[in-house]
Amino acid sequence: MSEMAGHRIETDTLGPVRVPADRYWGAQTQRALENFPIGEERMPVPLVRALGLVKLACAEANMELGVLDRRIGEAIARAAREVAEGRFDDHFPLSVWQTGSGTQTNMNANEVIANRANELLGAPLGSREPVHPNDHVNRGQSSNDTFPTAMHVAAAREVHERLIPALEHALAELAAKADAFSGLIKIGRTHLMDAVPMTLGQEFSAYVQQTACALDRLRAALPRLCELAQGGTAVGTGLNTKRGFGERVVAKLAAWTGLPFTSAPNKFEALAAHDAMVELSGALNVIACSFHKIANDIRLLASGPRCGLAEIRLPANEPGSSIMPGKVNPTQAEALTMVCVRVMGNHTAVTFAGASGHLELNVYKPVIAYSVLQSIRLLADAIRSFTDRCVVGIEADARRLRDYVERSLMLVTALTPHIGYDRAAEIAKKAYAENLTLKEAAVRLGYLTAGEFDAIVRPEKMLGPSD
C-alpha cells in the first residue's frame, strides 16, 4: 500500500486503486463506486447492519470450528459488531444498482471489517494483513448465501421492530374509535349512494378487522422469511465450509435477535429463488390496499366542512392552502395513500424480480431487498403518523349523522317485508320526486298510516338481523 495526498492506494486482483484515505472501504468497493454511478439509491442501512451481524456470526462460527485464528477472528468479530451497531454506516456508499448477487456490497462489508480489524491490531488501513477481506472476513461464505441471509435478517427485524408495532398501535386506536362511535347511527353508503342505517362504530369496525388481518398476514409470512441461506455458499452445496457452519451461524443470529431464524432446509432454493421475500412483499401489498381504503374512507367521511359529507372531523394539523384562507386538508390520509401507491409499485418490482431467477441464482437481490425494506419502513412510518396525527383526534358530528338518517330515502328498506319491494320503491320514488318525507309519501299513497310507518321504520332497529 502506498499513500497520496488525501488518498491511499489499495490493490485487488485487477490492480491498484485510489481510495479516500479516511474511508474504511477498499479497492473492490471503490471500483464499484466508480463503475455503478447509477441513481441515488444506496443500500439500505438495515441491510448494512444485518450484514455486520451476519459477518459477526460467521467469524464466531469459524473460530469455534477451528478454521479462523482466534486473534484475527476476535478482531473481525469486534469490527463486525461495530458495523452491526451502525458505527460505519457512512462507509457503505454503493448504489442498489450493481451486480444482482449483491457481491459489491458483500465485499464492501468484507473490506470495511478487514480494515477496521487491522486497525484494531495496529496495522494501517489498506494493508490487507494480518486480516484479509476474502481469506478471513469472508471465510466459508459467498455473496450468494451471505447477501440473501442479510436480506432476510434485515426484513425480519424491520417487520418485528417497526411494522408490527405500528399496526398494533393502529389496531388499538381504531378499536377505541369503533367503541366510542358504537351508539352513533348513520347512513351507510354503497356505490357512493345512500344505503341502509348502520352505526359509525360498525363502519370503523371494518377498519379494525382490516388491521387485524394485516397483522395476521404479516405474521403468516414470517416463518419462510426466517429460513436463512447461510452455509450454501456459491450454488447451495456448501463448498468451502465446515459441516455445521451454517447451522451455527443461524443459531447465533436467532439468539442475538430473539427471532426464530432457522437454517433453510434446501440451500439451492434459498439461493436460486426469493419466494419468501415475494411472499412478504405480497403481504405488504395487501396492507397497502387495506390502508389505502381506510385512508380514503376517512377523508371522504370528513369532506366538507360545509359542502361535503362532514360526518367526522379530523385534527387541523396545518394550514391547507396557500391561497384559500382557513382551509384544512386531510393531509395524513393523503400522505398514507401515496405511501400505499409506492408499496404497490414496489411489489410489482419484487414480483418481476422474484420471478426472474436463472438456474442456481436469482440476480435481482439488491432491488428485492431495497424494495421490500422501503415498503416496510414507509408503511410503518406512515401508519404510525396517520394513527397519531389523524385517527386519535377524529371526532364525530352527531347532529350531521342524525340529519342524514332522518332525510335518507333508504329507510324505506324496512318496509319491504311488510308491503313488498314494488310498493316500497314507489314510496321512495314519490318522496324523492315531490320532496316529501317517506312517511308523507307512504300515507299519501295509502299504503300505511302514520302510526304504522313509525312502528316499522325505526333506524335503531335496522342495525342487524331481527329476532
Instruction: Assess whether 191 carries a catalytic annotation.
Output: yes
Distance CA 370, CA 44 (A): 6
Residues in the chain: 467
Q: What is the 3-state secondary structure (H, E, C) of the chain?
A: CEEECCEEEEEECCEEEEEECCCCCCHHHHHHHHHCCCCCCECCHHHHHHHHHHHHHHHHHHHHCCCCCHHHHHHHHHHHHHHHCCCCHHHCCCECCCCCCCHHHHHHHHHHHHHHHHHHCCCCCCCCCCCCHHHHHCCCCCHHHHHHHHHHHHHHHHHHHHHHHHHHHHHHHHHHHHHHCCCCEEEEEECCEEEEEEEHHHHHHHHHHHHHHHHHHHHHHHHHHCEECCCCCCCCCCCCCCCCHHHHHHHHHHHHHCCCCEECCCHHHHHHCCHHHHHHHHHHHHHHHHHHHHHHHHHHHCCCCCCCCCCEECCCCCCCCCCCCCCCCCHHHHHHHHHHHHHHHHHHHHHHHHCCCECCECCCHHHHHHHHHHHHHHHHHHHHHHHHHCHHHCEECHHHHHHHHHHCHHHHHHHHHHHCHHHHHHHHHHHHHHCCCHHHHHHHHCCCCHHHHHHHCCHHHCCCCCC
Catalytic residue among 2, 182, 321, 356: 321
Instruction: Assess whether 142 carries a catalytic annotation.
Output: no
Catalytic residue among 191, 303, 347, 356: 191
- Catalytic residues, which ones? 191, 321
